[in-house]
Amino acid sequence: MTGLIIFGLLLVLMLTGMPVSIALGLTVLTYLFTMTTVPIESVALKLFTGIEKFEIMAIPFFILAGNFLTHGGVARRMIAFASSMVGHYHGGLGLSAVFACALFAAVSGSSPATVVAVGSILLPAMVKQGFPVRFGTGAIASGGGLGILIPPSIVMVMYAVSTNSSVGALFIAGIVPGIVLAFMLGITTWWIARRNNYPRLKRADWATRFRTWRKSVWGLMLIFLVMGGIYTGAFTPTEAAAMSAVYAFVVAVYVYKDMPLSRVPRVLLDSANMSAMLLYIITNAVLFSYLLTYENIPQQLAQWMVDTGLGPIGFLLAVNVMLLLAGNIMEPTSIILITSPVLFPVAMALGIDPIHFGVMVAVNMEIGMITPPVGLNLYVASGISRLGMTETTVACFPWLLTMLVFLMMITYWPTLSLWLPRTLGMM
Amino acid sequence: MLRILDRLEEWLIAFLIGAATLLIFVAVVHRYSLDMSAEWGWDVLYDWLFVIDLSWAQELCIYMFVWMAKFGAAYGVRTGIHVGVDVLINNLPEWARSKLVLFGLLAGALFTGLVGTFGANFVWHIAHTEQTSPDLEVPVWIVYLAIPLGSYLMCFRFLEVAWSFFRTGELPRHEHAHVEGLEEEVEQAQATGRPEPVFLGESITLAEEREHIHGGHSEHAGPTDDHGPESNDRGEGRP
């Protein structure tokens, strides 16, 4: 009952269009003032301690690194490399876009950033080459979703923080599913292009491939810096994020020289702006989950779920549907922070692996990025292509279906995500 | 006066994120060079490095980010980055929508004002104790001062935005599709008479080469063609 009141209040406040963070905070305050005797001082304390965790600090670092990479010419060189490798197959630049998204996703933690980085360069080129805008927009908007699944991933850090899972294990677990999904999206692109006979590039010779590889190697090395560092235990994920931010800065300003030093303050400010917004949601979400825990709601829900005999299979299906619906109207950070304190205990009670559950949540968020009305990738892609939102959505449809198939695979075949971290002994 | 506050806010958060990054970088490099000099027996370097104690780096980094988060959230109100669920209200008639937007902004002001007051209370109490932080050993109340200061600033920003919305009906809006610096680059290229912006660089050239080889598809492409990336700026037309 209390749970219904709390979530009902939150829903009403959110639907008025106020920022999600404010809606979360006001829900807590309203509830505390009117319904309980929890001392308000404990709220104040929570506001201080909510984000005092070193793991959370990976988020600003990854955002900063991603911004340096986006503006620093790393994406451009990765695209050149990708198109020299796969451009001669059916789908040409479209396939290159998916490949480039996957590469860029492996150095950047954010999905819209991937769309911007790859889309703003490749989409005009594709249109020029005679691809329909729709095809290009669809390929890039959905390929950009890989940013969430392929580590490093800000969404995964969020999940790990709000459920106390290991960021490192989650990152490693994202690798195999990420590659599989990139492959599936690539096949979709290839298939559509083959049926419609879209242009292909001439096969690049090995000298060109080597040349483009050498130019992009500074960006590609970041993959090994982050993942290698985390896997070997050389860095904690947060340290790896800080290292990659410094590395991306050096590459952008001194190696590629695509970004003048004078633009650095601007990038810093933009990154700070974005990270502060996310950290602010986290602070208030911590408050919210404190309230839930205080009222024993997750435990009650878990008990109820176990009693109904829904079982893991039904529960996972319900979670998928719920997250996909939520993905339609909210952005990933808020969804994860609001739902995981409730869903996670239930999943644990049903014996679902926390890492597997996390990968599944990440895939759901990824699909949410390309489903209307609130899909950040759609906004970004429609901004680049100047297609309307409806058309962009339709354009993404074939890739959306692929992702849904992939989601079913991830959900009911845990080995796909758990094999690598188990083999590497990380869990 | 307000101008100064704006700039101060921007400089503070940009500085904090930059400094925190450097701090962690230096701490990691320090840790590894210490290990390495111990392994390879470089005693001089080891002794020199050993004196430097960076165990407080993590704690300072956290505090810097907490400060950045509080003041950055206030800056975010000004830039319109705090997103909400606006699907419903965007489909309402204009008068209802503007009422709800105003309600949302005032609710933001109310919440941040309340939090600021709780925070101020809390800091006041804690300032009368001897409590210090574990590693840095600074008085805790100074660290926690970020909450009342940041929240009150944020409250002020909400009121500011609400007032300007009330007067002009305009909201600050964050452009996710906006690529920083891309437009300047295009403008520069046009000004200096260079044929194409550097950003499209290799992939465009590549595409053009192939295009001639294939012969098929010539210059009849879509609207984004010639304008390229500058369209990012205005492109985010929401329905």
Check CB contact under 8 Å for A26 and B22. no
| Cα–Cα separations (whole angstroms), residue B75 to A50, A63, A280, B80, B149 | 20, 17, 12, 9, 13
| Percentage of residues in chain A having pLDDT higher than 70 | 98
pLDDT (tens digit, 9 = 90+) per residue, A341-394?
889 998 998 889 999 999 999 999 999 888 877 778 888 888 888 888 788 888
Residues of B in contact with A331 (CB under 8 A): 83
Please write down the long-range contacts of B124-132, taking CB distance under 8 Å and 24 or more positions apart: none
Residues of B in contact with A275 (CB under 8 A): 17, 65, 68-69, 72
3-class secondary structure, A157:
helix
pTM of the predicted structure, to 2 decimals: 0.84
- Give A414→chain B minimum CA distance, Å: 33
- Residue in A14, A57, A64 closest to B85 by CB: A14
pLDDT at B26: 93
Residues of A in contact with B13 (CB under 8 A): 269, 272-273, 276
Mean pLDDT (chain A, rounded): 88
Residues of A in contact with B237 (CB under 8 A): 382, 386, 388
Question: Phi-psi category of B131—alpha, beta or left, where left has phi over 0 and alpha has psi -120 to 50?
Answer: beta
Question: Phi-psi category of B180—alpha, beta or left, where left has phi over 0 and alpha has psi -120 to 50?
Answer: beta
Check CB contact under 8 Å for A379 and B119. no
- Any A CB within 8 A of B129 CB: no
Complex ipTM, two decimals? 0.85
User: Cβ distance A46 to A71 under 8 Å?
Assistant: no
The secondary structure of A8-44 as a DSSP string is HHHHHHHHTT-BHHHHHHHHHHHHHHHH----HHHHH
pLDDT (tens digit, 9 = 90+) per residue, A243-255?
999 999 999 999 9
Residues of B in contact with A380 (CB under 8 A): 176-177
Tokens for B176? 């996710």
pLDDT at A178: 94
Residue A36 has pLDDT above 90, yes or no: no
Instruction: Give the B window 139-198 contacts with A, CB below 8 Å.
Output: 144, 147, 175-182
- φ, ψ of residue A19 to 5 degrees: the values are -55, 140
Alpha-carbon dihedral A265, A267, A270, A271, rounded to 10 degrees: -110
Check CB contact under 8 Å for A79 and B111. no
Residues 6+ apart with CB under 8 A from A257: none
pLDDT (tens digit, 9 = 90+) per residue, A152-169?
899 999 999 889 899 999
3-class secondary structure, B41:
coil
- Give B198→chain A minimum CA distance, Å: 10
Residues of A in contact with B20 (CB under 8 A): 57, 60, 242
Residue A423 has pLDDT above 80, yes or no: yes
Residues of B in contact with A379 (CB under 8 A): 176-177, 236, 238
Residues of A in contact with B139 (CB under 8 A): none
Alpha helices for A224-263 (secondary structure H): 229-232, 237-250
pLDDT (tens digit, 9 = 90+) per residue, A273-301?
989 998 998 888 888 888 888 888 888 88
pLDDT (tens digit, 9 = 90+) per residue, A189-238?
999 999 988 888 888 889 989 999 998 998 889 988 888 888 888 889 99
- Residue in B104, B176, B206 closest to A17 by CB: B104
- Residue in B110, B180, B208 closest to A266 by CB: B180
Check CB contact under 8 Å for A243 and B177. no
Q: How far out from the chain centre does Cα A229 lie?
A: 21
- Residue A62's closest chain B neighbor by CA? B21
Burial class (CB in 10 A: 0-12, 13-18, 19+), B218: exposed
- Give B141→chain A minimum CA distance, Å: 11
pLDDT at B191: 52
d(CA B179, CA A71) in angstroms, rounded, equals 8
Residues of A in contact with B217 (CB under 8 A): 129-130, 199
pLDDT (tens digit, 9 = 90+) per residue, A333-355?
888 988 998 899 989 988 899 99
DSSP letter at A259? S
Spatial CA neighbour of A222 closest among A199, A245, A256, A198: A245
- Give A310→chain B minimum CA distance, Å: 31
User: Cβ distance B189 to B196 under 8 Å?
Assistant: yes
Higher pLDDT pick, B139 / B229: B139
Interface test with chain B among A99, A269, A286, by most B beta carbons within 10 Å? A269
User: Cβ distance A205 to A85 under 8 Å?
Assistant: no
Angle between helix axes A92-105 and B201-214 (nearest 10 degrees) is 160
d(CA A303, CA A255) in angstroms, rounded, equals 57
Sign of CA dihedral A138, A144, A146, A149: negative
pLDDT at A48: 67
Residue B149 has pLDDT above 80, yes or no: yes
d(CA B21, CA B15) in angstroms, rounded, equals 10
User: Cβ distance B177 to B235 under 8 Å?
Assistant: yes
